[in-house]
Structure 1
Amino acid sequence: MKKALKNPALQIGAAAVLGIVFGLIVGEWAGNLKFVGDMFIRLIQMSIVPLVMSSVIVATGSMTGSGMGKLALRTFSWMLGFSAVAAVLAWGISVIVQPGAGIDFSGGVDPSLQESAGEATGWQETLLGFVSTNVFAAMSTAAMVPIIVFSLLFGVALNAVIAKTGNRLVLDFFDAIQQIVLTMIRFVMLIAPVGVFCLLANLAGTVGFAVVTSALKYLAATLLGVLIVMVLFVLVVWLRTGLNPALLPAKLADQTMIAITTTSSAVTFPTVLRTAVEKVGVSQRVANFTLSVGLTMGSYGAVLNYMIVVMFLAQSGSITLDVGTIVLGMALAILLNMGTITVPGGFPVVAMFLATSLGLPFEAVGLLIAVDWFAGIFRTFLNVNGDTFVAMLVASAGDEIDRDVYTGTKKVSTDALDLDRMKEQFEKADAAD
């Protein structure tokens, strides 16, 4: 019992319910608690710039060549393709379901973000705005896209210098900064229940019962998107491999149960690997590579959810996004999924990163944090099973899927895999979940 009470997700969920009930009872007086919630949001905000900069620099600076053969090309192509489909689908569902409608924060854009939140005057100006003439000015206004572009270039240049000289001093410096900022975020998340209580008390007190319906619409939009992407996965696998899709539910049952009960791709990984080889018939070579890459690049549920978050925040602020901003939101969701922009501080950091990057209001972020445990179930379900489907597609293209294993007429065993070497990938995967 004590262990359950110490669970952060349970604490945040309880605080959210209590906050909504309190706000509905006391009404507008709950607005007096808003400053506490705002303080919690600002504590996360102040970590975004150093975290993103250090994460991108470390990710690109430490890259080593792994070869871009047919196996890698097929893997990356399918993963990026389905990620793009998930992002576009999330936008379409959000336009139809309108999950953020009913929570009106039409004046809610942070004054410090007015420059980045301004309407684009054309695609040339939008692209030009991706590059800042002064990275320190971009940092001071939290203009995230120019910061990301600078960090990517810096990381690539650092990677070249390390390859030439072997000197990792600068890379180790940024790695240390990343770890320190992550520790800061862990400290901030200790007060998350208090912050979420105050944020939702204010929301419920000023907006009313629409808070509850908006949370349900947000979760419904995410679930609907997950189910549609799953159907698309099964359809593509059936058409490309010719395997009987009716056998899939039983084969994927074990990994699905672990995924939705732990909301962790890392914990589920050994079962996913064993399922792919022993039940689906994917070759060990393809399974090892594709599923390992999928831990950080195959987070289709995360891409879908992140894009719904973008639309939810825009709708809650009565902001109509132009085409350029929508495409940018999709690109950021996919880049987060790819691990190029490593934001391992969990969903609150991701939500604040997206809001900051696109100039969206932050007031409704507390509601998203409150229900993220449920959204996490949906994300992990699609992340885990999507990786298996991609492995099937990649293996089928190279004639590396054993159809006798799939039909159950042949048995094989999975080779041992050193899971300790995948610690960093596990951490990134859990961040996406």
Structure 2
Amino acid sequence: MNPMKKAWKNPALLIGAAAILGIAFGLVVGPWAANLKFVGDLFIRLIQMAIVPLVMASVIVATGSMTGSGMGRMALRTFRWMIGFSAVAALLGWVISILVRPGAGIDFSGTVDPALEASAQEAQGWQETLLNFVSTNIFEAMSTATMVPIIVFSLLFGVVLNAYIQRSGNRMVLDLFDQIQQVVLTMIRLVMVIAPIGVFCLLGNLSGTVGFAVVVGAVKYLGATLLGVLILLALFVVVTALRTGLSPLRLPGKLGDQTMIAVTTTSSAVTFPTVLRTAVEKLGVSPRVANFTLSVGLTMGSYGAVLNYMIVIMFLAQTGGVQLDPGTIVLGMALAILLNMGTITVPGGFPVVAMFLATSLGLPFAAVGLLIAVDWFAGIFRTFLNVNGDSFVSMLVANASDEIDRDVYEGGAVAASGPVDLGALTARFEKADALD
């Protein structure tokens, strides 16, 4: 195939080109570009209408198909580090967003979708907030896209369904939801075919309405994400060096191969074999620890995603002039962490995740198109931290059980990684790519 034709079939390239053209068009024609808004809104609504069935089916399938994984000391150490670093990533994303204010200057106050007003109501107290997590009518919650009660219902349904399957062996209901999930995902892939048109119209309206602030907002959003990634990377290095006593000066050379693959492919799944080989052969992590921590890290170790999702939440709030109360901020952090842990599985890529977060927290959608347009760059930052963060966690877990070969790390010995069944990790690869 002609390289030029192949390049123009790349969705990320098409969306990027549409974004540039849309911004240029809006800056040239000015307020008239607002006539394109309805096309962009149609694109957003096509994604939005799939959120509720997709989240319900995904959460039910994820919890309904869970099996015992042998919660030993290694598993507990792994989950402790991963959840701890994820919480730090969420908190850091919030702090950076407060300081940098990436959404400031792009004023879309007053454009919140009226259909989401019910989910954007301020709670009168923490008791009412917790009560609202449980809906008395799940169909009403679905009709208003009030996501938290939907998630709670789906989690409970999935847990009970799991127990039913274990007792009876009947997977009919689980298979039904699995098929629903696949159908909705196919529908989203179909919608994404028109993503370049939708992004062009969204950014044409955006730049025509607010002017050059759109470009500034995109740069500030990416800058905030990059700043957070660098701070978290420094934290990983410092914690790992202090806990293991190993020199951090050797890390750049050891992590170079997997870093290059991560930033060029923006895929944790593609990078996984290199990450596994690096952990055993260059970092000195035992194969037992590396196989477990790195496979779990595919879905639970997406620290770059947690950071980025929190910045997305704050960006959308700032563009809409929405003041988030402490309870909503904590809920946003929890959703970002749960997305990372795979407890809430929202496949379909960043546009679906962004719409899920906006819908869950009652945030305006007007600037989502801008985030979609620059997500290829944000994806590089996310994958970079996701991949290398997993390596650091594997070192920390291995050090705790004295399963890290210091001679290998120092370069005085050679270790060989064993074979790994990549086919068994297919589901984790799909989730990891969704987080990237």
TM range (shorter): over 0.9
Residue deviations 1:51-94 (CA, integer Å, cap 9, x gap): 00000000000000011100000000000000000000000000
Q: Which residue of 2 aligns with 1:12?
A: 15
Equivalence map 1:125-136=2 (5 Å):
125-136=128-139
Scaled by the length of structure 1, the TM-score of the pair is: 1.00
Q: Which residue of 2 aligns with 1:222?
A: 225
Equivalence map 1:135-154=2 (5 Å):
135-154=138-157
1:176 aligns with 2:176: no
Counterpart residue type for residue 88 of structure 1? L
Find the residue that maps to 1:280 and give its secondary structure.
coil
* TM-superposed deviation, 1:10: 0.1
Segments of 5+ residues of structure 2 without an aligned counterpart are: none
* TM-superposed deviation, 1:176: 0.1
Aligned equivalent of 2:365, options 337, 362, 373: 362
Q: Which residue of 2 aligns with 1:75?
A: 78
* TM-superposed deviation, 1:237: 0.1
Find the residue that maps to 1:99 and give its secondary structure.
coil
1:289 aligns with 2:287: no
* TM-superposed deviation, 1:108: 1.5
Counterpart residue type for residue 397 of structure 2? V
1:263 aligns with 2:294: no
Moved more, 144-153 or 104-113: 104-113
Find the residue that maps to 1:361 and give its secondary structure.
coil
1:429 aligns with 2:432: yes
CA distance in 1, matches of 2:244, 2:266: 29
* TM-superposed deviation, 1:119: 1.2
Residue deviations 1:229-282 (CA, integer Å, cap 9, x gap): 000000000110000000000000000000000000000000000000000000
Q: Which residue of 2 aligns with 1:188?
A: 191
Counterpart residue type for residue 357 of structure 2? L
Aligned equivalent of 2:58, options 39, 55, 62: 55
* TM-superposed deviation, 1:356: 0.1
Equivalence map 1:20-419=2 (5 Å):
20-419=23-422
* TM-superposed deviation, 1:355: 0.2
* TM-superposed deviation, 1:144: 0.2
* TM-superposed deviation, 1:325: 0.1
Find the residue that maps to 2:164 and give its secondary structure.
helix
Aligned-pair Cα RMSD in Å: 0.4
CA distance in 1, matches of 2:146, 2:122: 14
Find the residue that maps to 1:377 and give its secondary structure.
helix
Moved more, 355-364 or 105-114: 105-114
CA distance in 2, matches of 1:31, 1:336: 34
CA distance in 2, matches of 1:316, 1:124: 29
**Where in structure 1 do 4 or more consecutive aligned residues deviate above 2 Å?**
none
Report percent identity of matched pairs. Answer: 79
Segments of 5+ residues of structure 1 without an aligned counterpart are: none
CA distance in 2, matches of 1:109, 1:240: 47
Aligned equivalent of 2:6, options 3, 6, 25: 3
* TM-superposed deviation, 1:118: 1.1
Tell me the matched-pair count.
433
* TM-superposed deviation, 1:134: 0.5
CA distance in 1, matches of 2:415, 2:117: 59
Counterpart residue type for residue 262 of structure 1? T
